[in-house]
Chain A
């Protein structure tokens, strides 16, 4: 399994030694610095590399992934074509009966989490909390492929690290309807057709395992301007992330060579949760009868010897209810809340390939209605001075891939508030910066399984966002792990 070309074999040892040395250095530094403290939450990371497809077609994982799980243009085309190569071997009837299109993925890790101001019972109510230790991620149980030619599916039961499962993806898709690659219909819970896929993100830490821009929601008021008694930081009630999988119906079309891609989705506005509920059925957020829309389009073009470049845009136009129509026992009945108020997220993305570098740039814009921004039910008057919050974001991510077995990662995200919900808030209240460095080393490339030695450090700063005193918040995460899929 650990085969490679003679040319690459020569360079394998230095990479391995370098990786191990770097890890040991990281470990020795952080172990010397860290102190035991209360455990910080570990987010379940949902990623999608699928050796089941590599096994089916006999292609190495590097064919579809620049470095798994991030897709290459060829992998994107394969996905857009309904997990089909179009070579008459797509229908499952051509597979060995013993073939089962399933892939497990999990990542045992060592990680260190630190936050400069965490809410605690002791002292002034906030303290720097740092903790570290061995751990593991959640388990992803990918199964997907084709039911027949031009009918594809994907089911992903996914657990957190305690083994509590939910469905991250459940969909079937009619591909190439009427013989046209421009008509593909998907129904179920799926990842939005984001050009920059959060499900194929290369980073794993709690800080950088998701894109900050995709999940940012403005804070309402800083704790520091509250009078006595001190109130906790106030955030918006509704929860939405454009990086979250959503439930609905998607039309997607693409040119044969996948240079042009367009899609539009009609979605239930509850952030991809079942039973008209929020928070995976646990409730906690009002859900109504509203539908949201997501639209995306992109165009790739060739730039001489540099290869393909791609630019695109996206927009999510949504609405959220603000008060319940019916309650039972005082609790809102799921899916019946009313008083919908709008919000949107939109942006432009460029993916630039320069030989062994690939660079992603994104401009992001978010806006919430004044009612959502101030947590005000639509049947009540708005607070004095309230206004619709808006913000701008940016992302700059670079990958250096000297060969398919090594990818160096760097990402910088920033979010700047353009309009605070209350003009009395500091203009930079809630502004965020996230910086990430890391690398993934793949000791072997195979069509049977994937293994990556992952090393990453990420730090996030947010202005005036500490939970009690409203001071600047700094959260960092360091992770070393064996990321494998089989």
Chain B
């Protein structure tokens, strides 16, 4: 057989193996442990092909039949890059992180909350999702970052957070009023070169990766991998991070919070909130 033909055959065989890799890995007995739940990949497969494949695709590559119509592309499980993690940037998330994402859903995307599934179902899905990428075989999940206790909320803490917002140049993407309309906003793309919009604090929607102050703390300490949102873990001290959390809450002017109430009670804060608030929208998206 001519050498060129041999090479071609080998390349074809290699491609064939690669293309079936997810299916092969799917046959593995992958288990996950989330709390008291042990997830099983085989059980998760049946669930995946009932609920998830339309967006995430047969091979978990985010190329489901609906993917072309979604303006935030579905997660590519083969790449194993996840936005919502408790682990440092660049590392794999914990099973609990994926479990939480499935339960919570992702606002400002088409990913709904699957809270109606059982905990066992979600644990099974986590196990199956992990069969799509060889990364899970070669790497361990990162160690969750430590979140220190939240200090007492004060006006000074909010003001320090306001200064950090300027210093870290958060406004470049999120805008001075947190509307997601900073000067860089229109140029941002994600890892797939798809345009991506910074979070609009004023719209009142939930944060993508959770609702609590602790979740917000984690977001800018872990970053949102695959997006322009970096991790600030190396440049922000824990106390400063909490200051920033307190300030960011005040930008959510349609979302009642202790931070907003406290900020509203100050002259400067009240003026900023009044400037940020807007009238209602036909979307009913929380703006009142």
Contacts and interface: CB of A to CB of B under 8 A. Distances in A.
A150 B284 contact: yes
A305 B120 contact: yes
A85 B110 CA distance: 9
Contacts of A74: 51, 114, 116-117
The secondary structure that dominates the B interface is: loop
B29 to A, nearest CB: 16
A262 to B, nearest CB: 17
Interface stretch (A54-62, A217-225, A366-374, A466-474): A54-62
A447 B116 contact: no
Interface string A69-97: 00011101100000001111101011010
A94 B70 CA distance: 11
A45 B205 CA distance: 41
Given A58-B55, A63-B54, A88-B108, A256 B115 contact: yes
Contacts of A135: none
B283 A149 contact: yes
B58 A6 contact: yes
Contact of A307 (B49, B112, B113, B120): B120
A86 B285 contact: no
Nearest to A148: B284
Give the contact-size bracket for chain B: 35 or more
Contacts of A58: 54-55, 64, 66, 69-70, 110
Given A88-B205, A148-B283, A63 B50 contact: yes
Interface string B54-77: 110010000011100110000000
A60 B54 contact: yes
A307 B205 CA distance: 31
B120 A85 contact: no
Contacts of A149: 283-285
A335 B216 CA distance: 60
Given A308-B118, A404-B50, A91 B58 contact: no
A3 interface: yes
Nearest to B45: A7
Interface of A: 1, 3-8, 54, 57-60, 62-63, 72-74, 76-77, 85-89, 91, 93-94, 96, 148-151, 256-258, 302, 304-305, 307-308, 403-404, 446-448
Given A77-B116, A93-B281, A305-B120, 6 more contacts: A58-B70, A60-B50, A63-B51, A88-B285, A148-B282, A404-B49
